[in-house]
Amino acid sequence: MLDPTPLIQERLTHNRWGLLGGQGCVLGFDIGSYGLRAALVDLSRHTFHAMHREPANESPQELVGGAIDLGNELMAAHGVTSAHLVRVGAGFGGPVDVRQGIVLLSPRAPGWERYPLREALENAFGASCVVDNDANLIALAEATFGVGRDTQHMVYIHLSTGVGAGLVLDGRLYHGATTTAGEIGHAVIGPVDPTRPGERPKTLEEHVSIKGLLSRAAELGFHTNLLSDIFSDHPVGRQVVAEAIDVLAVRIAQIVALIDPQMVVIGGVVARNGGEEFINAIRERMHTYIGKAVERPVQVVSAMLGADSVAIGAVALALESMRD
């Protein structure tokens, strides 16, 4: 897997983050998307360091307390005290009210409803904190340090236990009217079937998340709990993947027509299992669904920053907040 350190350290030399952008340190957290991960950048030395650990459970107390401990451990390992911190960023694997800095809920564990994540981290580290959801932060990480670092208009699509998207437009994260822009996984694919008027069509997440792919395979008689089986040479697996490619190609074509991005980045465990063959097939199929009036070259590529991408995006979010 790619080591993102050189990319991040090179980008940190481009001081473009306001008056505080050349001094102090920024701490970023991934709270639960890829376990517990912390990232630390020194804005004067242009260095990047990261740590991670797996939590015992996903309760708020365990995850937030573990993140705070991990952050303190990372800072101590590199001689950083709270007095050196100018900003903290954090990402969470679920809906977040960005303006209030609270987690709305967790799709995986109870107890997170309206959890004051920003307040908890500010109290722990004594620095201003910004929070966002994981898909948005991966989008910002890729746009700031990763595969989309030379773009101004980029869309990131996350395919994992859930399905979501992050939009970076004019070089900034786009949140929408209620800070929930990008929740494409919760929109249905296609209209109501007139032969089944009482049955709601499946959402994008129900089609192409891990659970969605495994469920579709089971419908076709192929029962497995392994995503790798879906991307094997099994005939049912090939059908499921072909259907997923088609569904994603349609949705991406709509995004391209609506937003006109320079690049669409696809990541998450589903994309990693599918590999470049999966991404290339989506790109080729997408052109089938784009009308001639808006057809143009659009890069459709794999995410490159790996398991630390949410924590890296949290750093990028903190840096972006320093410009405001």
Please state the three-class secondary structure of the chain as a single string: CCCCHHHHHHHHCCCCCCCCCCCCEEEEEEEEECEEEEEEEECCCCEEEEEEECCCCCCHHHHHHHHHHHHHHHHHHCCCCHHHEEEEEEEECCCEECCCCEECCCCCCCCCCCECHHHHHHHHHCCCEEEEEHHHHHHHHHHHCCCCCCCCCEEEEEECCCEEEEEEECCEECCCCCCCCCCHHHCECCCCCCCCCCCCCCEHHHHHCHHHHHHHHHHCCCCCCCHHHHCCCCHHHHHHHHHHHHHHHHHHHHHHHHHCCCEEEEECHHHHHHHHHHHHHHHHHHHHHCCCCCCCCCEEEECCCHHHHHHHHHHHHHHHHCCC
Q: Which CATH architecture has domain 5-143+307-321?
A: 2-Layer Sandwich (3.30)
**Where in the chain are the domains?**
5-143+307-321, 150-303
Distance, in Å, from the CA atom of 27 to the CA atom of 90, rounded to the nearest integer, reads 8
Give the model's pLDDT for residue 240. 98
For the entire predicted model, the pTM comes to 0.93
- Note whether 264 and 252 are within 8 A (CB): yes
Residues with Cβ < 8 Å from 272, sequence gap 6 or more?
none
Q: For 24-47, how does the pLDDT look when each residue is reduced to its tens digit (9 = 90+)? A: 999 999 998 888 999 999 999 999
- Residue 85 sits at φ, ψ, to 5 deg, of -75, 130
Identify the CATH homologous superfamily for domain 150-303.
Answer: ATPase, nucleotide binding domain (3.30.420.40)
Distance, in Å, from the CA atom of 216 to the CA atom of 129, rounded to the nearest integer, reads 41
Give the model's pLDDT for residue 290. 87
Give the model's pLDDT for residue 18. 67
5-143+307-321 matches 150-303 in fold: yes
Give the model's pLDDT for residue 196. 73
Give the model's pLDDT for residue 45. 92
Q: What angle, 0 to 180 degrees and rounded to 10, lies between the N-to-C axes of helices 235-259 and 269-286?
A: 70
Distance, in Å, from the CA atom of 172 to the CA atom of 291, rounded to the nearest integer, reads 28
Residues of the chain below pLDDT 70? 1, 15, 18-21, 193, 293-294, 324
Q: What angle, 0 to 180 degrees and rounded to 10, lies between the N-to-C axes of helices 60-77 and 117-125?
A: 30
Give the model's pLDDT for residue 19. 63
- Note whether 17 and 322 are within 8 A (CB): yes
Distance, in Å, from the CA atom of 2 to the CA atom of 314, rounded to the nearest integer, reads 19
